[in-house]
């Protein structure tokens, strides 16, 4: 029998990548979104669009009938987190519980607070000392407390790759590559956790394929790529075949404008992520899913930026 997955937020960045990965693997995909799905995804023969609001309980309940897995891939804008994160999470939990499906959530490192340690393991203590940390901790706590629900959080670093834009990688770091400039939000010598979305989607798929062995609540850490800004900078120079000037975000200006610019205010609260070295580790993940997907960095960056590898004096850096 064909397994069925309901993806909440299928028109979003990670939702699109997950929907494509599951559909290509032979799953029937019910793709929830308020807006029309991208053309390529909508045309996939194993994708069924579910056009409704994510808080429309009757519509979601109908869409969830008979599904094996529900993936909560909804992520409101930073400025709407206080208002929407918990209601959306509760909706996903209720829908999965009613259908008997496994609930899957893409997690992040916010749970560890502003003093996050350099090595982040599934059992690393969480610290709710920022507003977003408290919200994420509460979301995952609700999942863990639901004794009548099977659930898994797959925690990953900052996303890159996949369709669309709207994150640090697209809107800051690579937005000026054509002008010969690479913008890094923090200290370029500090390690940072990254997740290439096609790799992360394969982890979701492999875990979902073991749904029958998942009982209760489980946390998984996807290692992805742990990179300094300098490593990304060098690899992008290699791909572009040219030197890229290194810039940073105008943090002092953003601080001055924060009272009048809600998004700047929210970004400032996350600045600590670029000041604290951190990487995700999970010693048991390979035992659980086999070889952990990790696309070569040069290949992943080329796909994420639409770059064609260029020969020249920078080529060696692209392979490191």
Model pLDDT for residues 54-107, shown as the tens digit of each residue: 999 999 999 999 999 999 999 998 899 999 999 999 999 999 999 999 999 999
Smallest CA-to-CA distance from 19 within 35, 36, 41 is with 41
289-297: average pLDDT: 95
Q: What mean pLDDT, rounded, does the chain reach? A: 92
**Phi/psi of residue 84, nearest 5 degrees:** -115, -25
Q: What proportion of the chain, given as a percentage, has pLDDT over 90?
A: 85
pLDDT of residue 231: 97
| 192-209 pLDDT per residue, tens | 999 999 999 999 999 999
Q: What proportion of the chain, given as a percentage, has pLDDT over 70?
A: 95
pLDDT of residue 235: 96
- Whether the Cβ atoms of residue 196 and residue 295 lie closer than 8 Å to each other: yes
Reply yes or no on whether the pLDDT at 264 is more than 90.
Answer: no
Reply yes or no on whether the pLDDT at 46 is more than 60.
Answer: yes
CATH superfamily placement of domain 4-163+193-226+277-295: NAD(P)-binding Rossmann-like Domain (3.40.50.720)
Give the chain's radius of gyration (CA, Å).
20
pLDDT of residue 312: 47
Positive or negative, the CA dihedral 8, 9, 11, 14 is negative
Reply yes or no on whether the pLDDT at 317 is more than 70.
Answer: no
pLDDT of residue 168: 83
Question: Per-residue DSSP letters for 111-172?
Answer: GG-TT--SEE-TTPPP---SHHHHHHHHHHHHHHH-TT--EEEEE--EEESSSS--SHIIII
Where are the chain's structural domains? 4-163+193-226+277-295
Confidence of residue 309 (pLDDT cuts 50, 70, 90): low
pLDDT of residue 310: 54
Contacts of 216 (CB under 8 A, 6+ apart): 147, 150, 151
**Phi/psi of residue 69, nearest 5 degrees:** -140, 140
Reply yes or no on whether the pLDDT at 166 is more than 90.
Answer: no
Reply yes or no on whether the pLDDT at 214 is more than 60.
Answer: yes
pLDDT of residue 4: 97
């Amino acid at each position: 029998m064909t397994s069925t997955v309901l993806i909440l937020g299928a028109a979003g960045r990670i939702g699109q990548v997950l929907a494509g990965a599951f559909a290509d693997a032979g799953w029937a995909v019910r793709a929830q979104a308020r807006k029309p799905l991208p053309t390529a995804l909508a045309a996939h023969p194993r994708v069924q669009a579910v056009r409704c609001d994510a808080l429309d309980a009757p519509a979601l309940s109908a869409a969830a009938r008979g599904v094996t897995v529900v993936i909560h891939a909804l992520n409101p804008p930073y400025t709407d987190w206080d208002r929407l994160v918990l209601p959306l999470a509760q909706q996903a939990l209720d829908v999965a519980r009613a259908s008997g499906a496994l609930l899957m959530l893409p997690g992040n490192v916010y749970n560890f607070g502003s003093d996050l340690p350099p090595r982040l393991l599934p059992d690393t203590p969480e610290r709710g000392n920022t507003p977003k940390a408290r919200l994420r901790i509460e979301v995952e706590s609700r999942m863990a407390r639901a004794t009548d629900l099977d659930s898994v959080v797959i925690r990953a670093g900052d996303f890159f790759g996949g369709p669309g834009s709207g994150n640090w990688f697209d809107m800051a770091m690579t937005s000026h590559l054509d002008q010969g400039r690479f913008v890094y939000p923090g200290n370029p010598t500090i390690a940072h956790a990254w997740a290439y979305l096609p790799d992360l989607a394969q982890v979701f798929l492999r875990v979902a394929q073991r749904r029958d062995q998942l009982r209760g609540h489980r946390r998984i850490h996807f290692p992805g790529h742990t990179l300094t800004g300098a490593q990304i900078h060098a690899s992008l120079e290699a791909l572009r075949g040219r030197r890229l000037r290194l810039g940073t975000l105008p943090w002092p200006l953003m601080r001055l404008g924060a009272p009048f610019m809600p998004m700047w205010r929210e970004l400032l609260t996350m600045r600590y992520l670029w000041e604290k070295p951190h990487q995700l580790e999970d010693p048991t993940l390979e035992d659980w899913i086999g070889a952990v997907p990790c696309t070569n960095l040069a290949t992943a960056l080329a796909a994420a930026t639409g770059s064609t590898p260029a020969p020249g004096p920078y080529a060696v850096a692209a392979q490191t």
